[in-house]
Structure 1
Amino acid sequence: MTIASGDRIPSVPIKLIGSGDTADTTSDAVLGQGRVVFFGVPGAFTPTCDTSHLPGFAANVAKFKALGVDRIVCGTVNDHHVTRAWAERSEALGKVEFVADGDGSLADAMGLSKQFAGMGKRFARFAMIIEDGIVKDLFVQDVAGVTVSGAPAVLMALQASQVSA
């Protein structure tokens, strides 16, 4: 079953890649406090993830912060070494935090795992807005490319929630 609006973020062991060291932690510790934008990609260094999905979030950090987002986190089903190398090479490290879900446990727990030909289990492409550990909005990409799960769509949802508040 796919995680939905109103659901609590599950607690699953993950590795958090930030500007400092890589830390063993849990998904609820990373995603459970404040307003968090969490987006998942099928893989580090993969073409769409690398050139279309991640850059939109990294380039718009100031806009997300202005809309009350405390942290932006990218999740990938890769080991923490690959995830760190991608974060550093993309120059997004320090703007975006990265979660390495090496065996796909978090992807499974959220119901957002998907089998990709030649790649095995990965995150489906998605983005979500989380407030104090509760999913407020979920945007799952059902077609190729980055539309509903990209930074512009998430920014529009955040703006709309401010207008209706």
Structure 2
Amino acid sequence: MKNMEGQKVPNVTFKTRSGDSWCDVTTDELFKGQKVIVFALPGAFTPTCSSSHLPRYNELAPTFQQHGIDRIVCLSVNDTFVMNEWKKDQKADNITFIPDGCGTFTDGMGMLVDKADLGFGKRSWRYSMLVNDGVVEKMFIEPEVEGDPFQVSDADTMLNYLNPAAEKPKAITVFTKPGCGHCTRAKAALEKAGLSYEEIVLGTDATMRSLRAVSGELTTPQIFVDGQKIGGADDLEKYLGTAQSAAA
């Protein structure tokens, strides 16, 4: 794989779709005068990309913004329709999805690889980079080994490069069920505190058995913070009050 540190990114016009209209997006629009993180991956809707690579960048986007990052770009050799649907599916509103459908940008970066053995054709090797005003400042390229390695292009590695002491957001999960007033109160409390969270809705995302297996409870909501069981809405309000007092 080619390391492009110190060089300008390829000059490419991407064919994107916004609503019912085609929209050309140039590399100047994406990078000129901006500090941008790009993470490139083999394909939308593929396992590692959907379960780990994309979600963590989306989760850490506010933290990256605090460290001077203007935009986070997810790039793949897929068409714009696929990329748009993937963004909707992942609810990744903090990320700019760029379709490199013909692989022009990826080829210019020296990252175009043949995945014919998987029926993919030409795709991008997995990597991430920090681009400062169109010039590649830093690249994290996955090792050239068999399969689909995912060791260095992750969001945490990039954040560690920017600031090893950066404070990461808490991992918060809320088990809820439709029509639950206490669930609504818990979510409102988290939002008021400026804390993002993952919501797992019983009957849609999980079952009552799942809730009992994880929490030992049969009531909702059940809130977990960084692996610690907080409990219901009343417990959450006490926790948030304690956390705010400690911060003050």
TM score, norm. by length of structure 2: 0.60
Cα shift at 1:66: 1.0
1:13 paired with 2:13, answer yes
Higher Cα Rg: structure 1 or 2?
2
Deviation of 1:21 after TM superposition, in Å, equals 6.5
User: Could you tell me how far apart the structure 2 residues matched to 1:147 and 1:91 are?
Assistant: 24
1:152 partner letter:
D
In structure 2, distance between residues paired with 1:85 and 1:158: 31
Residue pairs, 1:36-51, within 5 angstroms: 36-51=36-51
The equivalent of 1:122 in structure 2 is 123
1:147 maps onto 2:151 in alignment: yes
The C-alpha deviation readout for 1:69-95, integer Å capped at 9, x for no partner, is: 000000010010001000111000x20
> Equivalents in 2 of 1:71, 1:16: separation in Å?
17
- Residues 89-128 of structure 1 correspond to what in structure 2 (within 5 A)? 89-92=89-92, 94-116=93-115, 117=117, 118-128=119-129
Q: Which has the higher contact order (CA 8 A, sep 6+)?
A: 1
Distance 1:151 1:27, change over 3 A: same
CA-to-aligned-CA distance 1:117-136 (integer Å, 9 cap, x gap):
21011111000001111100
How far did residue 98 of structure 1 move?
0.6
For residues 134 and 79 of structure 1, what CA distance do their matches in structure 2 show?
25
Distance 1:19 1:139 in 2: 33
How far 1:157 sits from its partner (Å)?
0.6
Change (3 A) 1:44 1:124: same
Among 156, 160, 164, the alignment partner of 2:160 is 156
1:14–1:103 distance in 2 versus 1, CA, 3 Å: same
Partner of 1:51, secondary structure, is helix
Q: Distance in 1 between matches of 2:14 and 2:154?
A: 23
- Tell me the amino acid that sits aligned with residue 66 of structure 2: A
Cα root mean square deviation, aligned: 2.2
Provide structure 2 residue ranges, at least 5 long, that are not aligned to the other structure.
Answer: 167-248
CA 1:16/1:32 → structure 2, altered by over 3 Å: closer, same or farther?
A: farther
Deviation at 1:40, TM superposition (A): 0.3
Q: Where do 5+ consecutive residues of structure 1 fail to align?
A: none
1:137 matched to which residue of 2?
138
Q: How many residues align?
A: 160
Q: What's the offset of the Cα at 1:3?
A: 4.7
Equivalent residue letter for 1:36:
V
1:28: Cα distance to partner?
3.4
Q: Per the alignment, in what secondary structure is the counterpart of residue 157 of structure 2? A: helix
Q: 1:3 to 1:20 in 2, by over 3 A?
A: farther
Offset from partner CA, 1:21-65 (integer Å, 9 cap, x none)? 762122232133311000101000011111111011001011101
Code of the aligned partner of 2:150: V
Give the partner amino acid of 1:77: V
| Counterpart-to-counterpart distance in 2, 1:59 and 1:20 | 29
Q: Which amino acid aligns with 2:152?
A: V
Whether 2:60 is the aligned partner of 1:60: answer yes
